[in-house]
A and B are shown apart, each in its own frame.
Chain A
């Protein structure tokens, strides 16, 4: 049985004159990790801050566990400190005048935990996060990765039911980030926490989350599992945001059920309709880079295209073809000389919007 740990209904937030969130609803089940994804300015951090109580919504409701913490209709507003959430800030927000121990113990001190128990729990959480020897250090004496774990320890030590993470990995360097996202996901699962994590990196969202919520200009564009978001995008925006794509502009020339034909200057391709289009409509065809293959023979959806560049990436080669003046990119396993090539574009993966 799944239990809803955090529920947001029809939330509106206005900051100054800007309407940042325009009716967002979201449920987080116990033990679930939800990633809030979106371009900058889409309102993902505002949503996180509104859940924590750092922004005052104008409309809607927020429930944490059984407690209504905000409801515009009844003018309910539980203040920030009574919501008992964990929050990891993008900058970590470690208090520079307190040691690691004091930083982590602060939440327990505020909850009037006995001294002995405080000590035990702080040591336990620091040990669990691999920070056992750093008790007496001040934040400026720590590396970026250590600071991030102290911030996490500080928000976990008082056992919140829900933990909110605002781009928790963005201040780590690229290598460390890839390790940290796996480690962080495992930690949250081990502790059976519910988590909401803001990120602008779609790969990070897919690696960490059970559910992705993609925001655009203050509304949810699409929400679902990483597989749904990547494989079944409901709009051009989602398709473009969730992976590395080729986009081709053209005109619909034939519609047959959910498949259709799109044509451009000197080319014609079969694809799958993902939005209602009529014959004669201008449309955008989109295909993930990794779905394009080189073909040995001319098939139904194969184009003969000139190769303009071949770039070595280390783990693969990236080919750049010229399709009616624009670039069409694909991956391959070997170097290729410039010249005409047969390029297969599978109709099932060519989405027409």
Chain B
């Protein structure tokens, strides 16, 4: 029973190929001086030399570093405090704040940033209102400071998720002991609770830091007007800059981003291993009691609401509002400007309509197929620990380090030049494969969480009773995790609706999705259509969240 069956090895190898082939292609291309499919090419470091000599690259790198550090400084403390308030105190309205907190995780950054431009941009409706009230607009959306601030605020939920789940596993009597010893709520949070979940916060800090290097949509929308580039937008703009697609340069930039993110992902793995040693207090025995904040609870609620307003409400209201008006400016009233033309346009233009239909198909059917694939991958290493499962471990972890934009580029090349896949280039298959690989780590975590809840003796007992390993999977394991699989399908649906950067390079007739259409329309400045598409996108994600809340699907760990 310790031997691996050939089918399982085949699943693991296929997964490894799907992940490492595109990345390998990027890596190989970065060391060539011409596109890899050309006959005449030489190995060399020319591509790296070129980008390292380019002052724009240097500026992009520094901007990315600045954004990452700023995000860490903003998101980690705020996420930590938010987690403490939500999990440990009697903050008013905790039950309805919880799903709102997760909106920045499930709504595309393209949509949110677009919302910012129409709400608080130089001619946004909040700006106009502030102008009227104060005489001038006290902020400027397109500065680096705003970019860092928005990036930081919108990544607070990432820190919140990890910290809150660590806090939940911490027994509350350590806090009660501190209260009895004479510490106030703030003192308890800063001297007892948060230090004890330090590993989780450190882990999420690293996460936020490397997500900072992967930022694309935010920098594209908010950095464009003033020409602020980050590494991903530098890569995206390379083609425009040189006029011709320069494969080796793009690959070299891609490798530079990967060179920063891969060590981060590996260090997270190391942190996680140590985190288990650190938190000793966990398990069923830990009771949860809330800490009364007294009058401070209203101050805390006000601060949380302020964060929600800035991060969620303003951009969302902005984008929804903009979707239903023809134009906006001084002296225009909503009723005069109200229109449904924006949506009519979407449904009249075949490529936009296809984009909406494709997004739904990719989320529902593609998401379902992905869950099936992830389940096969999960079962192939289930209760096994050998060289093959370690290979799978690293395979699954790798895509986290690869921004969607790069993965999309790599898959474009694979689908262009790998003969058996060429016929699928202009179909959703190419997008589906790229999406599934980009979200492999996320999906596998959903599946393995379900699989780990199946007691090993339930499977062993079926074996002893006379079932083959395949029968155990069909009769016992899969039926036991069926609700977990349905929940995973829903989560993958939402993530696929949200995804935008992976489709950017794969965009073409037949492979339009809302996310990548928004990126390409942004270049053309089609504000009305982007608003309408954003609204549809928000609607689709809301349907997913609605189902999740209705059926009690946990939206995180």
Residues in chain A within 8 A of chain B (CB atoms): 52-54, 56, 79-87, 89-91, 93, 95-97, 106-107, 110-111, 154-155, 158, 164
A residues less than 8 Å from B479 (CB atoms):
97
A residues less than 8 Å from B471 (CB atoms):
81, 110
Q: Determine whether the beta carbon of B457 is less than 8 Å from that of A80.
A: no
Q: Determine whether the beta carbon of A89 is less than 8 Å from that of B466.
A: no
Shortest distance in angstroms between A341's beta carbon and chain B's nearest beta carbon?
46
Q: Across the two chains, which residue of chain A brings its CB closest to B461?
A: A93
Partner pick for B462 among A52, A84, A106, CB 8 A cutoff: A106
Known A-B contacts A87-B461, A110-B471; A95 and B476 likewise in contact (beta carbons under 8 Å)? yes
**Which secondary structure characterizes the binding site on chain B?**
helix
Q: Across the two chains, which residue of chain B brings its CB closest to A81?
A: B466
A residues less than 8 Å from B465 (CB atoms):
81, 87, 106-107, 110, 154-155, 158
Shortest distance in angstroms between B461's beta carbon and chain A's nearest beta carbon?
4
Enumerate the 8 nearest inter-chain pairs by beta-carbon distance, A residue then B residue, closest first.
A87-B464, A93-B457, A93-B461, A80-B463, A110-B466, A107-B465, A89-B457, A81-B466
Q: Determine whether the beta carbon of A56 is less than 8 Å from that of B476.
A: no
Q: What are some 26 contacts across the A-B interface (CB < 8 A)?
A: A53-B463, A54-B460, A54-B464, A80-B460, A81-B463, A81-B468, A82-B466, A84-B466, A87-B461, A91-B457, A93-B458, A93-B461, A95-B458, A95-B461, A95-B462, A95-B480, A106-B462, A106-B465, A106-B467, A107-B465, A107-B466, A110-B466, A110-B467, A111-B466, A154-B465, A164-B464
Q: Determine whether the beta carbon of B480 is less than 8 Å from that of A97.
A: yes
Q: Across the two chains, which residue of chain A brings its CB closest to B480?
A: A97
How far apart are the CA atoms of A107 and B2 in the complex, in Å? Answer: 23
Q: Across the two chains, which residue of chain A brings its CB closest to B459?
A: A93
Shortest distance in angstroms between B386's beta carbon and chain A's nearest beta carbon?
12
Q: Across the two chains, which residue of chain B brings its CB closest to A110?
A: B466
Shortest distance in angstroms between A53's beta carbon and chain B's nearest beta carbon?
7
Q: Across the two chains, which residue of chain B brings its CB closest to A104?
A: B465
A residues less than 8 Å from B466 (CB atoms):
81-82, 84, 107, 110-111, 158
Q: Across the two chains, which residue of chain B brings its CB closest to A54?
A: B460
What sequence of 0s and 1s flags, for each residue 467-500 of chain B, a beta carbon within 8 Å of any chain A beta carbon?
Answer: 1100100011001100000000000000000000
Q: Across the two chains, which residue of chain B brings its CB closest to A90?
A: B457
Shortest distance in angstroms between A211's beta carbon and chain B's nearest beta carbon?
23
How far apart are the CA atoms of A93 and B467 in the complex, in Å? Answer: 15
Known A-B contacts A81-B467, A106-B475, A111-B466; A53 and B1 likewise in contact (beta carbons under 8 Å)? yes
Shortest distance in angstroms between A48's beta carbon and chain B's nearest beta carbon?
11
Q: Indicate if B455 sits at the interface (CB-CB under 8 A).
A: yes
B residues less than 8 Å from A158 (CB atoms):
465-466
Given A79-B1, A91-B455, A93-B460, list of 16 further CB < 8 A pairs?
Answer: A52-B464, A53-B464, A54-B460, A54-B464, A80-B464, A81-B464, A82-B466, A87-B461, A89-B461, A95-B476, A96-B458, A106-B465, A106-B467, A110-B471, A111-B466, A154-B461
A residues less than 8 Å from B468 (CB atoms):
79, 81
Q: Determine whether the beta carbon of B1 is less than 8 Å from that of A93.
A: no
Q: Across the two chains, which residue of chain A brings its CB closest to B479?
A: A97
How far apart are the CA atoms of A82 and B465 in the complex, in Å? Answer: 9
What sequence of 0s and 1s flags, for each residue 428-462 of chain B, a beta carbon within 8 Å of any chain A beta carbon?
Answer: 00000000000000000000000000010110111
B residues less than 8 Å from A107 (CB atoms):
465-466
A residues less than 8 Å from B457 (CB atoms):
89-91, 93
Q: Determine whether the beta carbon of B463 is less than 8 Å from that of A93.
A: no
How far apart are the CA atoms of A87 and B462 in the complex, in Å? Answer: 10
Q: Across the two chains, which residue of chain A brings its CB closest to B457?
A: A93
Residues in chain B within 8 A of chain A (CB atoms): 1-2, 455, 457-458, 460-468, 471, 475-476, 479-480
Q: Determine whether the beta carbon of A54 is less than 8 Å from that of B463.
A: yes
B residues less than 8 Å from A110 (CB atoms):
465-467, 471
Shortest distance in angstroms between A154's beta carbon and chain B's nearest beta carbon?
7
How far apart are the CA atoms of A96 and B466 in the complex, in Å? Answer: 18
B residues less than 8 Å from A79 (CB atoms):
1, 468
Q: Across the two chains, which residue of chain B brings its CB closest to A82?
A: B466
B residues less than 8 Å from A155 (CB atoms):
464-465
Shortest distance in angstroms between B469's beta carbon and chain A's nearest beta carbon?
8
Q: Across the two chains, which residue of chain A brings its CB closest to B471?
A: A110
A residues less than 8 Å from B463 (CB atoms):
53-54, 80-81
B residues less than 8 Å from A81 (CB atoms):
463-468, 471
How far apart are the CA atoms of A46 and B466 in the complex, in Å? Answer: 20
Partner pick for A80 among B1, B458, B480, CB 8 A cutoff: B1
Shortest distance in angstroms between A248's beta carbon and chain B's nearest beta carbon?
41
Q: Across the two chains, which residue of chain B brings its CB closest to A16?
A: B385
Partner pick for B1 among A54, A84, A91, A106, CB 8 A cutoff: A54
Q: Across the two chains, which residue of chain A brings its CB closest to B1?
A: A80
Q: Determine whether the beta carbon of A93 is less than 8 Å from that of B455.
A: yes
A residues less than 8 Å from B467 (CB atoms):
81, 106, 110
Q: Determine whether the beta carbon of A56 is less than 8 Å from that of B2.
A: yes
How far apart are the CA atoms of A81 and B480 in the complex, in Å? Answer: 20
How far apart are the CA atoms of A67 and B458 in the complex, in Å? Answer: 26
How far apart are the CA atoms of A4 and B467 in the complex, in Å? Answer: 26
How far apart are the CA atoms of A110 and B464 in the complex, in Å? Answer: 11
A residues less than 8 Å from B462 (CB atoms):
95, 106
Q: Across the two chains, which residue of chain B brings its CB closest to A166?
A: B457
The residue among B2, B455, B457, B466 with the most chain A CB atoms within 10 A of its own CB is B466
A residues less than 8 Å from B480 (CB atoms):
95-97
Q: Across the two chains, which residue of chain B brings its CB closest to A157?
A: B465
How far apart are the CA atoms of A96 and B471 in the complex, in Å? Answer: 17
How far apart are the CA atoms of A154 and B480 in the complex, in Å? Answer: 19
Q: Determine whether the beta carbon of A56 is less than 8 Å from that of B464.
A: no
Known A-B contacts A81-B468, A106-B465, A158-B466; A89 and B1 likewise in contact (beta carbons under 8 Å)? no
Q: Determine whether the beta carbon of A89 is less than 8 Å from that of B476.
A: no
B residues less than 8 Å from A93 (CB atoms):
455, 457-458, 460-461
B residues less than 8 Å from A86 (CB atoms):
464
Shortest distance in angstroms between A87's beta carbon and chain B's nearest beta carbon?
4
How far apart are the CA atoms of A97 and B479 in the complex, in Å? Answer: 7
How far apart are the CA atoms of A318 and B21 in the complex, in Å? Answer: 76
How far apart are the CA atoms of A155 and B462 in the complex, in Å? Answer: 10
How far apart are the CA atoms of A144 and B465 in the complex, in Å? Answer: 21
Shortest distance in angstroms between A153's beta carbon and chain B's nearest beta carbon?
12
B residues less than 8 Å from A87 (CB atoms):
460-461, 464-465
How far apart are the CA atoms of A93 and B472 in the complex, in Å? Answer: 13
How far apart are the CA atoms of A97 and B471 in the complex, in Å? Answer: 15
A residues less than 8 Å from B458 (CB atoms):
93, 95-96
B residues less than 8 Å from A164 (CB atoms):
464
A residues less than 8 Å from B460 (CB atoms):
52, 54, 80, 87, 89, 93
Shortest distance in angstroms between B75's beta carbon and chain A's nearest beta carbon?
40
A residues less than 8 Å from B455 (CB atoms):
91, 93
Q: Across the two chains, which residue of chain B brings its CB closest to A56?
A: B2
Shortest distance in angstroms between A152's beta carbon and chain B's nearest beta carbon?
12
How far apart are the CA atoms of A95 and B458 in the complex, in Å? Answer: 6
The residue among B458, B461, B465, B467 with the most chain A CB atoms within 10 A of its own CB is B465
Q: Determine whether the beta carbon of B461 is less than 8 Å from that of A56.
A: no
The residue among B457, B462, B464, B480 with the most chain A CB atoms within 10 A of its own CB is B464
How far apart are the CA atoms of A56 and B463 in the complex, in Å? Answer: 14
Shortest distance in angstroms between B480's beta carbon and chain A's nearest beta carbon?
6
A residues less than 8 Å from B2 (CB atoms):
56
The residue among A85, A86, A87, A164 with the most chain B CB atoms within 10 A of its own CB is A87
How far apart are the CA atoms of A107 and B463 in the complex, in Å? Answer: 10
How far apart are the CA atoms of A110 and B1 in the complex, in Å? Answer: 19
How far apart are the CA atoms of A199 and B457 in the complex, in Å? Answer: 18
Shortest distance in angstroms between A16's beta carbon and chain B's nearest beta carbon?
9
Q: Across the two chains, which residue of chain B brings its CB closest to A97?
A: B479
How far apart are the CA atoms of A89 and B456 in the complex, in Å? Answer: 11
The residue among B458, B461, B463, B480 with the most chain A CB atoms within 10 A of its own CB is B461
B residues less than 8 Å from A82 (CB atoms):
466
How far apart are the CA atoms of A248 and B432 in the complex, in Å? Answer: 76
Q: Across the two chains, which residue of chain A brings its CB closest to B464?
A: A87
